[in-house]
Structures are given as C-alpha cells and as structure tokens.
A and B are shown apart, each in its own frame.
Chain A
Amino acid sequence: MKKTIYLLSVVSLFAFSCESDDDFTEPIIEVEVEDEAYENGFLVTNQGPFNNGFGTVTFLDEGLTTSENNIYQTVNDDNLGNIVQSIGFTEDNAYVVANVGNRLTIVDRFTFEEIARIETGLSNPRFFASANGKGYLTNWGDGADATDDYIAVIDLATNTITNTIAVEEGPEEILYNGTYLYVTNQGGFGVNDIVTVIDPATDTVVTTIPVGDAPNGLELDSSGNLWVLAGGAPSFTGTETAGSLSVINTTTNTVSSSFDFGVTDHPNSINIEDQNLYYYLNGEVFVSSTTDFEIPTTPELTGLSLFNMIVRGNVLIGTNAGDFASNGSVEVYDLTTGTLVNTLTAGVIPENIYFND
C-alpha cells in the first residue's frame, strides 16, 4: 500500500514537472488530476482548539469560491498535532508546523500525502523556510526563557535535524532572500527588537539588525529591500511602545529608513503586492506605496475582524477566527470596490494563508 502511494506521488510529481509534455498516456494524466488536488489554490492553517485537540489545514480553490477543510486528515487519516502554527514550502513539499504539538509534518504540497515527520528536537516551533537544500525552523523554547531559543536546521534529503543555531529571544517569522535568512525576533513571552541574519552557507548568525519592538512580519519589495513590521510593545508589558516599519538594505544588512506609528498603534499582517504595502491595524486595512512610503491616515477597508490576511492582486483574503472556539471563516474582499465578495468556512482559529502553486 505504502509503495503504491509512493509510486503514485512520484508519478504525479513527474507529471507535474512536465505538465506541458504531450507524451503522457491517458492513465497517468488521470493520476495527476486526481492526486494533485491541492495545486493552484490556497492553503489555510487552522490552529485548532486552544487547549486540546489538533489543528487542521483548509484548501481554497484558486477562484476562492469553495473550501475543503481537514485536507490532511482526509488524505492521511491522521492529525497534524496541537496548534498548527504555519506552513513552510520547498518546490515539492509543504512543512506543517504544530507549535504545542512540537511536530513538523512533511507532506507533498500538492497531494498532502505525508512523507515524514519530525517529533524530536523541536521546542515551541514557529515558522519554517528553506534554503540550499536545508530547512530552517524557528523555535522559541520556553517562551519565558531568553536563552533557549534556536533555529533547527533540517537536512531536507533525510528529514532530520542536523544542526541548531542559537539565536536571541523569540525567533518568529523567517524569510530567505536568495542570500541570507532573515528572522524576526519578536521576543517570545517578552518583547525583542531585532532581525537576525543567518548565512545558510555556514549556518551562522551574520549579524543582528535593530528594528522596532516586537517585529511580527517581513516582506521583500520589488527592489530587494526587506520591510520589517514591528507591532510595538503591547500595553500589558507595562511600557507600551509604538509600532514601526523598518526598511532593511539587504546588501549592507542595515536599516535604511524607518517609520513610526502612533504609540497605541500596533499593526500586523504586512503584505507587499507589487509596489503596495498593506498592513492591518485595529480592524482596518491600510495601504501605501513602497517607493514613496508614508504612514497612511485613511484606511482602505474598515470594520474588519481578521486574525491575519494576505493580498494577491486586487484581492484581500483574511482569516476570521470568530470566538476562537468554533470553526472560523475566510473572508475575500475586492480591494478595488472595498466589498466582501465571499465568505468560506475554515477550521478552528484559521490564521495563515498561503498560495500553493
């Protein structure tokens, strides 16, 4: 049985990589269509019930008209573990991170068939990125301990952890720009204010770049600059600070310019689409140009209740977690008209959205 699945996935991968080739016989094309059910659409991570239970992944078709929940269970008859946090990708695979479950599940990104899983060596894993045939997975360790944070380095050929890179408190999102890996050190249970730069050739920390308090997202613009959005220290820390945006020159790895929000403004969900930078703040979506950036004063969309969002073309896709204790939804907005065009069901606490192509 396992062999059959393996064979099918190999066949389908082959089929995918040569999809314009006309030489395939009928049956193999059928296999491709059937198996690669999750190609060209969106994957949404759902954390799952807060205390007990497991997270799920929802698939949305490219037209954003239908959703299919629990795709991992459907394919593998198993669950992904407690609190599904995020997904990282390679060309062929998806790496699903279960935060409380301390598990990385490796699946074929288009069939969602499980390939392997890593269940040891992880401690509060957050986000995954790949570079040079290796995977890099940020780990908080104990969120209250500033000294046990690390990046697990995974050999993607063997799916084993081969190395760890110690980093400062609270490594969160991670991005590879073709040269370096950039990690936002949000700060675990506390607040940190740096971006850690890692060289994947040596798996060492090249430098750390000071940014605003609690950096929560990072995106590259079309010129290769790295935009880091920092939420600022929330009020519960006792010393509330403003959110800010820092633009990092990835050649020099220094901050070339930065922008401050109001002291009680704590933005998140940075997205750069073409030359527009979008972010979410207090139920509103704002946009400004990356070439002539200034902090916008008029929102693009208002009255939202989103946990996270992405922008693709003129469409904004947001996750609405509702009461955080029941199935949430994905809301699709047309940015040209500012209207809600569709609402699709998702799992419990839907959070991150990825385009899968």
Chain B
Amino acid sequence: MRHIFLFIAVMLYAHASVGQIDTLQVLPEVILSDVKLREHSVGIAIQKVSDSILQQSRTSLTDVLKNNTSIYFRENGPGGVSSASFRGTNASQTAVVWNGININSQLTGQTDFNTISTNNYDNLDVRAGGGSIIYGSGAIGGSVHLNNEIQFYKRAETIISAGYGSFDTQVAHAKTRFSTDKVYVDVGADFQQSENNFDYLDTDNLFNANGQYENLDLNLNAGYLLSSDGDNTQILKLHHNTYVGDRNFSGTLTAPSNDAYEDRNTRTLVAWENLSKRYDGTLRLAHIYEQFRYFANNESDLNDLGKAARYLANYEGTLKIDSSKRLTLLGEINTISAAGASIDNASRRSASAVALWKHQVLSALSYEIQVRQEVVEDYRSPFLLGVGLDYAFAKEYMLSFNASRNYRIPTFNDTYWAGPGAMGNPDIRPETSKQAELGISRSQNNVTLGLRGFYIDTDDLIKWQPNTMGIWSPVNIVDTQHYGAEFSFKLDKQIGEHRFAATTQYAYTIAKNMETSKQLIYVPKNKGTIGLSHNYSWLSSYIQGTYNGSVFTTTDNTSTVEDSFVANAGVSAELFKNGNHKMILSTQLNNVLNTNYQTVASRPNPGRNFLIQTTYTF
C-alpha cells in the first residue's frame, strides 16, 4: 500500500495563462482579503514569506515560520501542540489572522500552529509588533496572516501533488482554480498522515511512541463581481476553511502516553465589498467554530469536549479624502458561546469601534493614528491607541517608528473553567501592553537590510496558580518587560541564468519577569535563521539553517534546554514541461546534520529525515 502510494505520487505541473498582467490592473483591493494589513501598518515591519518557501516546506505552519522568521516555537515534536513566542511573549500573545479575522482559540487564547495547513493559502505574512487595534486580542508579540487572493481574469489551473517521507509520512494536496473576468472559484484539499515514530537519537531503542497524526484541510474561496460600473465596483466574496485533525500526543523521555486529540475547526467568511475612488465600504459576516476532544486513553471512548462558536459582523468604511489621506472607521459585533466538559454553556457578547487615520504628509513621510475601544459584558476592555511613522530620510533608507497599546482578553477557560482541580476566575481582567519599536531599513538594488529595536511592557499577565485551597485558578499577577533587536538581510542575485537568493534573520530577546528579573521560560535570547537558494531553469535547490539559543525551563532559571542548530536542504527538478502541463519532483532532507535536539524539555526531535514529492500542474 505504502509503495503504491509512493509510485502514484506523481506530480504534474501546468503553468496557466501568462497574460495575467493586464487583467491585474484592477484595484489591488479587489485581490486582497485584508487591505488593512498593507494600508495600516505604518512603522511596522511585515515579512512576506514567499511562495517558493511555502512550496518547499511542505509541512506545517510551525516549520515554515520557525525556519524563516525570528519567531520561536515551543513544539511538542512534529504534529504535537505548537505555540509561538514572538519577541519573548507567551503563546496567547501572537495573533493568527485568517483573511483579516483573528482566529485564536476562544478557549485557550492560542493557535496551535500544527493545526494550520500552509498549502491552501496564497499569502503568508508575518507582522511583528503590536496589532490589537486592528486584529484584536493577542497581537502583542505580533501577528501571522493567512490570506487567500481572489482575482478576476481568465484562468483554469489545477495542481496535484503527493509525497512520501520518513516515518511513514504521506502527504497529498490538490487545488483547482477557475476564474473569469466575473467569477472566481478555488477549491483546495491538503492531507497529511504520519506514523511519526522516529527513533530518539542517542538512546537505546527509544522512539516517539504514540505520536501518529493525520489531518485534512479543505479550503474554498469564491468571488463574484456583482458590478463594475465606471468608478464603482461591487464584489461578493466567500472564504471557507475546514480542518479535521486526529492525532495522538506522543510520550516524552520521562513519561509514556496513550492519549489522543481531535480538532474540528471551521471558518466561514462572507464579504460584500463596495469599492470606489473616494470610498470603500465592506460588510463582513463570519462564523468561526472550534471543537476539540481530548481522550486521556485512546482506547476508550471517554473524552473531554470543548467547543466555541463565534458569529461576527462588521462594517468597515474607508474615506479616501485625497490621495494622501485615508480615514477608516470600523464597527464590529461578536457573539461567542462556548461549552464543554469543563465549561458550562458560557457566552460573551462584545462590540468594538476602530478608527484609523493615515496621512502621507510628504512622499517620504507618512504617519498613522489608530484607536480602538471594545465593550464586553464580562470584563472591562482597555482603550487602545497606536501611532506609526515611516520616514524615508534618504534615498534607499527608511526610518520607522510605532508605538501602541495592546491587549489579550481573558479566554473562556480563564473566566469560566470549572474542572478537576481548577477553576476559572470571573474577575479576571485583560492583559495589556505598552510597546514601541524603532527600525531602520535599507533597500538597494537587490539587497535589503533591516535593523529594528523593540520594547514591550506587559501588565496583568494572566497566570494559573493554586489558590489557598490548592485549586488552580488564573490571576492577573505577572508583569513582564521585553526588549531586543531584530536584524534581517535579504539578497537576490542573478548571474546569467542562475538566480541566487540569501536571507538571514536574527533576533536578540530579553524577556524578564519584573518581580524576579529572571528571563521568562522558553524564550531564547538568541535565535537566527539562514537560507540560501539557487534556481536554474529546471532545477532549484536550497539549504537552510535554524539556530535556537538555549532556553530556561524553570522560572528560577536553574534548568535549561540546550541550544541547537538544525539544517535542512532540498532539491526540485522539473521533469517535464509541455504547454500547460508540468511535472516537478522535489526532495527535502531535514535535519541534515542529524542533530539530537529538543525545543521542549524531554521531547526529542527527529534525526535526519526526508520527504519526496511530485507535483503535477495542468
């Protein structure tokens, strides 16, 4: 069966019509599902993770981001729960934004980055720094943006790929796009399955037991051009995503495991956009559903269920006063209900208002002012203010500054949990941050350099600890301070028919508990990535390395997980190309150096492993 799978892992690739350029001259707003990301990030650095990287890193969002950005991941091994630490902040202080909508769990406040499939998205952007005014709760360290593009031009394209790798890993992906000058539809399916039973290096016969996983991600995007009448364009858009994940949580070096976990998540967004020269209006309706089941014993039907459903409606109006001034007003209402084994039907309604003002004073100078106020039934939400400045003070140089106040709201678990040994706190308040950053970048020819310093002061962090009766309960107790620097470098170089690219990211992060002055646990002071790639006609290759500095695992900084350097490499070859038909064979070799490393204590990662894929496009 396995071998058959390998053999039929044939990939074909057909490149569709090249005549895109003319038809793309429509407003870019037509394409982007999240215009604010581009228009309202003054003073903020956005890193666009390129398509080629997405295609190389066939696996999880964790892999893509840990190898290409300065975000540090606490990953319980491949397929396990994975949370982000951005600028030293905690797992619920990074927002994941799907087509403009924050999708962090209402139950945990986090996104498990191993439950997001990267293959079904057209763009992946990483926005460092405060973004709560636009993106809501959790955008303190930064936000990760998953976007689908809807474009109206004549096109029909299908990509099918399949692959096989170490530890009985099987992957398959299919996506078909069809569009005319009025209609757009794409449907994508992404499947991953792995026994994930890798050997623990340098041990006697220990392996990653109970780590198997499989997941299916389905994506649908559709658009209809209702009218395009001189100055006025009206579009109806639909985005949908369904994620079905079944996995076991693997054991560790010190504990076996026989548990299992199921994720069932759906997200649906309908947007009606009314675009014109002076005014853009967008009405959005969305339904976000999350559900998990945890099985303490995967041979038993007994499980703990948790689920949350969220309905969202917002209207966003942008007045383009003149070519240099933009005023955006947004009003949003949310109704969220949650239930489960440890949450007795709880609900929360909120309304929020956002105003964004952007002014390009000179061609080289723009500034921005943002405000947000939210009104929620069960806690008091802070007033948020942000300012940004971009100043191109010399040719090729840009100075940027941003300061903002951000927040992370209490989750349903924080407020309403009532389960064994633990109890939510109805009086819990949001976490807040005051933060600022200053960056300088230089873009010249094919070289981009960036240097950025940041400072974050967070207050009232929510921490679960035992109360006087020994019951674990959340309290707003910790204040932290984070500061550091981020360096980025990118080079593109063409020599004859050979194209070379080099990138590097490095971050130095101090994140300390204000009471103890100790570095926060699982925050490396140093993290860096480096990547080199080469393209020549039908052949492309890359090598890539990630360094994670050592991290403390106890708050008194007495225990650590050692630092590690992990290298990966890959080669892709176009096997044939015939008109619209194209086939590519690619091979990834991960952890080339066979480094025995951990990112979470007692959880070894796989040694050298491979994945072979074929992709057929037509």
Residue numbers of A with Cβ under 8 A of B are: 48-49, 51-54, 79, 81-83, 98, 100-102, 141-145, 188-190, 234-238, 266, 268, 282-283, 307, 321, 323-327, 348
Q: How far is the CB of B367 from chain A (nearest CB, A)?
A: 42
A48 to B422, CA, bound (A): 19
Chain A residue with Cβ nearest B463: A323
A54 to B254, CA, bound (A): 6
Instruction: Point out the residues of chain A lying under 8 angstroms from B521, CB to CB.
Output: 325
Residues B556 and A234 in contact, CB atoms below 8 Å apart = no
Instruction: Point out the residues of chain A lying under 8 angstroms from B252, CB to CB.
Output: 52, 82
Within 8 A of A (CB), among B438-476: 465-466, 468-471
Chain B residue with Cβ nearest A144: B302
Q: Which of A101, A144, A268 contacts B254, CB < 8 Å?
A: A101
Q: How far is the CB of B216 from chain A (nearest CB, A)?
A: 28
Residues B300 and A101 in contact, CB atoms below 8 Å apart = no
Chain A residue with Cβ nearest B464: A324
A52 to B554, CA, bound (A): 11
Within 8 A of A (CB), among B549-605: 553-556, 558-559, 600-603
Q: Which of A145, A189, A283 contacts B300, CB < 8 Å?
A: A145
Q: Which of A48, A51, A234, A282 contacts B468, CB < 8 Å?
A: A282
Please give me the 4 A-B residue pairs with the lowest Cβ-Cβ distance, nearest first.
Answer: A82-B255, A326-B556, A189-B420, A326-B555
Per-residue contact bits, chain B 323-354, to A (CB 8 Å; 1 contact, 0 not): 00000000000000000000010000000000
Q: Which of B422, B468, B556, B558 contacts A236, CB < 8 Å?
A: B422
Q: B283 within 8 Å of A by Cβ?
A: no
Q: B236 within 8 Å of A by Cβ?
A: no
Residues A144 and B468 in contact, CB atoms below 8 Å apart = no
What are 13 A-B contacts with C-beta separation under 8 Å?
A52-B602, A53-B254, A53-B553, A53-B601, A81-B254, A98-B255, A143-B296, A143-B420, A145-B300, A234-B469, A236-B419, A307-B470, A324-B465
Please count the residue pairs between chain A and chain B whose beta carbons lie under 8 angstroms apart in the complex: 97
Knowing A52-B602, A234-B471, say if A325 contacts B554 (CB, 8 Å): yes
Residues B296 and A268 in contact, CB atoms below 8 Å apart = no
Residues B471 and A236 in contact, CB atoms below 8 Å apart = yes
Main secondary structure of the interface of A (DSSP, over half): loop
Q: How far is the CB of B296 from chain A (nearest CB, A)?
A: 5
A49 to B344, CA, bound (A): 30
Residues A142 and B470 in contact, CB atoms below 8 Å apart = no
A321 to B555, CA, bound (A): 12
Residues A49 and B553 in contact, CB atoms below 8 Å apart = yes
Number of interface residues of B (CB under 8 A): 34
Instruction: Point out the residues of chain A lying under 8 angstroms from B419, CB to CB.
Output: 189, 236
Within 8 A of A (CB), among B509-546: 521
Q: Which of B418, B421, B468 contacts A238, CB < 8 Å?
A: B418
Q: How far is the CB of A324 from chain B (nearest CB, A)?
A: 6
Beyond A49-B554, A236-B417, list 13 extra A-B contacts (CB 8 Å): A48-B254, A49-B553, A52-B603, A53-B553, A142-B302, A143-B296, A145-B297, A189-B421, A236-B418, A268-B470, A282-B468, A282-B469, A327-B558
Chain B residue with Cβ nearest A326: B556
A153 to B297, CA, bound (A): 22
Q: How far is the CB of A103 from chain B (nearest CB, A)?
A: 8
Residues B296 and A327 in contact, CB atoms below 8 Å apart = no
Instruction: Point out the residues of chain B lying under 8 angstroms from A324, CB to CB.
Output: 465-466
Residue numbers of B with Cβ under 8 A of A are: 252, 254-256, 296-297, 300, 302, 304, 344, 417-423, 465-466, 468-471, 521, 553-556, 558-559, 600-603
A101 to B470, CA, bound (A): 23
Main secondary structure of the interface of B (DSSP, over half): loop
A109 to B465, CA, bound (A): 33
A348 to B419, CA, bound (A): 24
Knowing A143-B420, A236-B471, A325-B555, say if A52 contacts B254 (CB, 8 Å): yes
Instruction: Point out the residues of chain B lying under 8 angstroms from A321, CB to CB.
Output: 466
Chain A residue with Cβ nearest B418: A236
Instruction: Point out the residues of chain A lying under 8 angstroms from B559, CB to CB.
Output: 49, 53, 348
Instruction: Point out the residues of chain A lying under 8 angstroms from B420, CB to CB.
Output: 143-144, 188-190, 236
A252 to B365, CA, bound (A): 89
A326 to B556, CA, bound (A): 5
A145 to B304, CA, bound (A): 11
Instruction: Point out the residues of chain A lying under 8 angstroms from B344, CB to CB.
Output: 238
Q: How far is the CB of B152 from chain A (nearest CB, A)?
A: 49
Residues A327 and B554 in contact, CB atoms below 8 Å apart = yes
Instruction: Point out the residues of chain B lying under 8 angstroms from A145, CB to CB.
Output: 296-297, 300, 302
Residues B465 and A323 in contact, CB atoms below 8 Å apart = yes
Instruction: Point out the residues of chain B lying under 8 angstroms from A348, CB to CB.
Output: 554, 559
Instruction: Point out the residues of chain A lying under 8 angstroms from B300, CB to CB.
Output: 142, 145
A82 to B252, CA, bound (A): 9
Knowing A144-B304, A235-B423, say if A52 contacts B600 (CB, 8 Å): yes
Instruction: Point out the residues of chain A lying under 8 angstroms from B471, CB to CB.
Output: 234-236
Most buried by A among B254, B255, B555, B602: B254
Instruction: Point out the residues of chain A lying under 8 angstroms from B255, CB to CB.
Output: 81-83, 98, 100-102
Instruction: Point out the residues of chain B lying under 8 angstroms from A53, CB to CB.
Output: 254, 553, 559, 601-602
Most buried by B among A79, A143, A144: A144
Instruction: Point out the residues of chain A lying under 8 angstroms from B421, CB to CB.
Output: 189, 234, 236
Chain A residue with Cβ nearest B518: A326
Q: Which of B465, B470, B602, B603 contacts A54, CB < 8 Å?
A: B602
Q: How far is the CB of B479 from chain A (nearest CB, A)?
A: 14
Q: How far is the CB of A14 from chain B (nearest CB, A)?
A: 33
Knowing A81-B255, A101-B255, A324-B465, say if A52 contacts B423 (CB, 8 Å): no
A81 to B466, CA, bound (A): 23
A327 to B554, CA, bound (A): 8
Knowing A79-B254, A102-B255, say if A327 contacts B556 (CB, 8 Å): yes
Chain B residue with Cβ nearest A54: B254
Residues B468 and A283 in contact, CB atoms below 8 Å apart = yes
A188 to B419, CA, bound (A): 12
Q: How far is the CB of B424 from chain A (nearest CB, A)?
A: 9
Chain A residue with Cβ nearest B419: A236
Residues B554 and A326 in contact, CB atoms below 8 Å apart = yes
Residues A266 and B469 in contact, CB atoms below 8 Å apart = yes
Chain B residue with Cβ nearest A308: B470
Q: How far is the CB of B54 from chain A (nearest CB, A)?
A: 30
A237 to B422, CA, bound (A): 10
A257 to B114, CA, bound (A): 56
A77 to B556, CA, bound (A): 23
A253 to B31, CA, bound (A): 78
A51 to B559, CA, bound (A): 14
